[in-house]
Chain A
Amino acid sequence: MSQAELTLPDYRDLAPEVKARFEKIRSRPVILSVRDLEKSFGPATDRHCVFSNISLDIHRREFITVIGASGCGKSTLIRIVAGLDDCTDGVILLDGHGISGPGPDRGMVFQGYTLFPWLTVKRNVMFGLEMRGRSHAACEREARQWLDIVGLSKFEDAYPHELSGGMKQRVAIARALANEPRILIMDEPFAALDAQTRCQMQAYLLQIWKKVDVTILFITHDLDEAAYLSDRILVMGANPGRIMEFIDNPVPRPRSPRQFISPEYLALKNRLEELIHPITTNDEEDKVPVMKMTEAGDEVE
């Protein structure tokens, strides 16, 4: 590959303005603190460890992306943070308080949209507010504002099935944010969308994040997505699940797709590739033993 011949900067070298930004972030209070988190299951004799020794601190208004090979437990990790699963050991502190079960302080956006099909778009956004016992008028007013932010005011009376995937996910984001959560957890929210919609949604999300005081914990398996959105990238490894590296993203903000060919971006991407797809001794492709449906002279490369 020609990329190897390029001389890329070290991904750990931060430009002065990026460095300053990280210092500013680190001076903010810690919102989410995870200490020695462990999840395992099975009987004591045949214990399977999903992950162990997970510790991390996330500061207010940080944008964290989590990547990792499948089976590294990244989904389990955020489900535990969201309170949907239990951990077997360790502590999670949100604003310094322990958590028990799911709660409105940790908003969640799922890959499968999970909008309530029996409620209109507006009522979906109002749901969390109503759960907190707010008056109908107040809920409605807030919901309208949030729909405005995600650009779906025109669709407030539509039912979810009338919307496209990207629009559904925007409603889901509005619904989660309307609750004013301390942290917004997103579990591969754009994985089901087509490439173009995904790009749009990423740009949308960055805009929303700029306007709203919210910390985001974002899971993805798309390295570009992780690099494009994040302040820091939590790279997890599998067998057993563990933190491989917590990378400070060297790409300056504001982000734009044009940065995809900037040296910092490529250096970061290169590092992520190394971590996620470590180069093994030989190319796997050469080991495929069967030749089928091809003739001599058909070689593709």
Chain B
Amino acid sequence: MLSQRPAATRDWLGLKKELPPRRRLLLTILSFVIPITIWAVVSYVPFIWHPLVMITDAGDVDYFTAGEVFPYSDFLEQNKEMKAQGMHPAQGYRVNPVYLPPPHKVAMAFYLAFKTPPRLPNEPWLHESLGHSISTIFWGFFLSSILGVPIGILCGTYRFFSRLQEPFIEFFRYLPAPAFGALCVAILGIDDGPKIAIIFIGTFFQQVLVIGNTVRKVDPALIEAAQTLGAGGFKLLRRVIIPASICDIYTDMRILLGWAWTYLIVAEVVGTMSGITYFINQQARYRNFDNVYAAIAMIGVIGFFSDLFLAWLGTVLFPWKRRERSRSKKSKVPAAGKLWPAAVEPSVTDALGHDKSEIQPNVAS
């Protein structure tokens, strides 16, 4: 072997090993910075796109008016003509279309959105719209889960329930939830009822199937082990099958909650338009596209942070999944490892600088 570079430089991209924490954080930030930078470049650098011209002085051009926008190509053509005829050319600066506001405007809209009163007295404030949306999602997802999770677990555990339920559900999940919009309105009225029903239809059937599959993946050896220890019937379900799959069910629920948000936008146009969708539509009608972007971003922020929160909550609820953390943090529990660490692992310090060889238990004694 000629050169033995340290593994860290060889695996710079992280093919096999997790990246160091600082680079991980940097990359996370970068993943947001890159699209925002592209947006900023397109917004602020005139010659990248800017297909329109905001006229400041119409000059002698007939149909230009100060304060309005016209295509850049028309602007050039007209000015060429004006110059040729010795007349006064129009003045203006290049702008992007109104539907692509620059980042700072969206940021301002984001900041001001909660302070700006609605235009019409009976319109909701943004926070009211958001609150309405969140409560719709909550009820839709809550009702779906309260039925879907137990049914899914039963289907995953017992072939009887799986045979009894899943063929129909498999059929039903192909029916698009929005198709039930008119029906839901007819049955449940025009208020929140049909919206919650659509979110329910959109998530429930998926939930049963996904959770059924997750529960089916429980290691049969664990079930057998429990049986030889005397577990059976409902105890087996409660003490083994549910705990063995609960962590994956939780992950499924997080993904399905994302689906629920997708159905929300469809659900909210059913009956009387409400919630964040109403806000977005109104703002688009007023051509306040910065507010539209701010509202969309708001959904993203809520989704992103609620998912982060749920991920964190997961590590609290399921401590046995915290592999690295419990090993390095909990010094009370002697961290285990191989029986002969010195022979197998020449490197004795881990990322946090703990001497691994010290915390190896002496099993041989």
Q: Which residues of A contact B (CB under 8 A)?
A: 82-84, 101-104, 106-108, 110, 112, 114, 116-119, 127-128, 130-132, 151, 154-155, 157-164, 166-167, 172, 175-176, 179, 185, 194, 196-197, 200
Q: Which residues of A contact B326 (CB under 8 A)?
A: 159, 162
Q: Which residues of B contact A104 (CB under 8 A)?
A: 228-230
The answer to whether A176 touches B229 (Cβ under 8 A) is yes
Q: How far is the CB of A189 from chain B (nearest CB, A)?
A: 12
The answer to whether B222 touches A161 (Cβ under 8 A) is no
Q: How far is the CB of A14 from chain B (nearest CB, A)?
A: 34
Q: How far is the CB of A32 from chain B (nearest CB, A)?
A: 15
Q: How far is the CB of A126 from chain B (nearest CB, A)?
A: 10
Q: Which residues of A contact B243 (CB under 8 A)?
A: 116, 118-119
Q: Which residues of B contact A114 (CB under 8 A)?
A: 219, 221-222, 224-225
Q: How far is the CB of B235 from chain A (nearest CB, A)?
A: 6
The answer to whether B229 touches A118 (Cβ under 8 A) is no
Please measure, in the bound complex, the distance between the C-alpha atom of A261 and the C-alpha atom of B323, giving whole angstroms: 44
Interface code B306-335, partner A: CB below 8 Å = 1, 0 otherwise?
A: 000000000000111001001100001111
Q: How far is the CB of B117 from chain A (nearest CB, A)?
A: 51
The 26 listed contacts between A and B (C-beta, < 8 Å) are A107-B228, A108-B224, A110-B221, A110-B225, A116-B222, A116-B243, A127-B229, A127-B231, A127-B239, A130-B239, A131-B231, A154-B361, A158-B333, A158-B334, A159-B319, A160-B320, A162-B335, A164-B338, A164-B339, A166-B363, A167-B363, A175-B229, A179-B229, A196-B339, A196-B340, A200-B363
The answer to whether A118 touches B336 (Cβ under 8 A) is no
Q: Which residues of B contact A163 (CB under 8 A)?
A: 336
Q: Say whether B13 faces chain A, with CB atoms less than 8 Å apart.
A: no
The answer to whether A179 touches B361 (Cβ under 8 A) is no
Q: How far is the CB of B56 from chain A (nearest CB, A)?
A: 68
The answer to whether A118 touches B225 (Cβ under 8 A) is no
Q: How far is the CB of A82 from chain B (nearest CB, A)?
A: 6
Interface code B203-224, partner A: CB below 8 Å = 1, 0 otherwise?
A: 0000000000000000101101
Tell which of A102, A108, A159, A172 touches B320, judged by Cβ atoms closer than 8 Å.
A159
The answer to whether B228 touches A157 (Cβ under 8 A) is no
The answer to whether A176 touches B228 (Cβ under 8 A) is yes
The answer to whether A197 touches B319 (Cβ under 8 A) is no
Q: How far is the CB of A49 from chain B (nearest CB, A)?
A: 24
Please measure, in the bound complex, the distance between the C-alpha atom of A196 and the C-alpha atom of B364, giving whole angstroms: 10
Q: Which residues of A contact B224 (CB under 8 A)?
A: 84, 102, 108, 110, 114
Please measure, in the bound complex, the distance between the C-alpha atom of A161 and the C-alpha atom of B247, giving whole angstroms: 15
The answer to whether A108 touches B228 (Cβ under 8 A) is yes
The answer to whether A162 touches B240 (Cβ under 8 A) is no
With A118-B320, A127-B239, A131-B235 already in contact, the answer to whether A164 and B336 are too (CB < 8 A) is yes
Contacts A128-B230, A159-B319, A194-B339 known; 11 new A-B pairs at CB < 8 A:
A84-B227, A110-B224, A114-B224, A118-B243, A118-B246, A127-B229, A128-B229, A131-B239, A159-B326, A176-B228, A200-B339
Q: Which residues of A contact B319 (CB under 8 A)?
A: 159
Q: Which of A84, A103, A128, A159 has most chain B Cβ within 10 Å?
A: A159
Tell which of A112, A132, A179, A200 touches B364, judged by Cβ atoms closer than 8 Å.
A200
Tell which of B225, B226, B228, B323 touches A106, judged by Cβ atoms closer than 8 Å.
B228
Please measure, in the bound complex, the distance between the C-alpha atom of A117 and the C-alpha atom of B218, giving whole angstroms: 12
Interface code B339-365, partner A: CB below 8 Å = 1, 0 otherwise?
A: 110000000000000000000010110
Q: How far is the CB of A19 from chain B (nearest CB, A)?
A: 35
With A116-B222, A162-B326 already in contact, the answer to whether A167 and B336 are too (CB < 8 A) is yes
Q: Say whether B258 faces chain A, with CB atoms less than 8 Å apart.
A: no
The answer to whether B230 touches A179 (Cβ under 8 A) is yes
Q: Say whether B337 faces chain A, with CB atoms less than 8 Å apart.
A: yes
Please measure, in the bound complex, the distance between the C-alpha atom of A200 and the C-alpha atom of B227, giving whole angstroms: 29
Q: Which residues of B contact A167 (CB under 8 A)?
A: 336, 363
Please measure, in the bound complex, the distance between the C-alpha atom of A163 and the C-alpha atom of B318, giving whole angstroms: 18
Interface residues of B in 183-219 (CB under 8 A from A): 219
Q: Which residues of A contact B247 (CB under 8 A)?
A: 118
Q: Which residues of B contact A116 (CB under 8 A)?
A: 222, 225-226, 240, 243-244
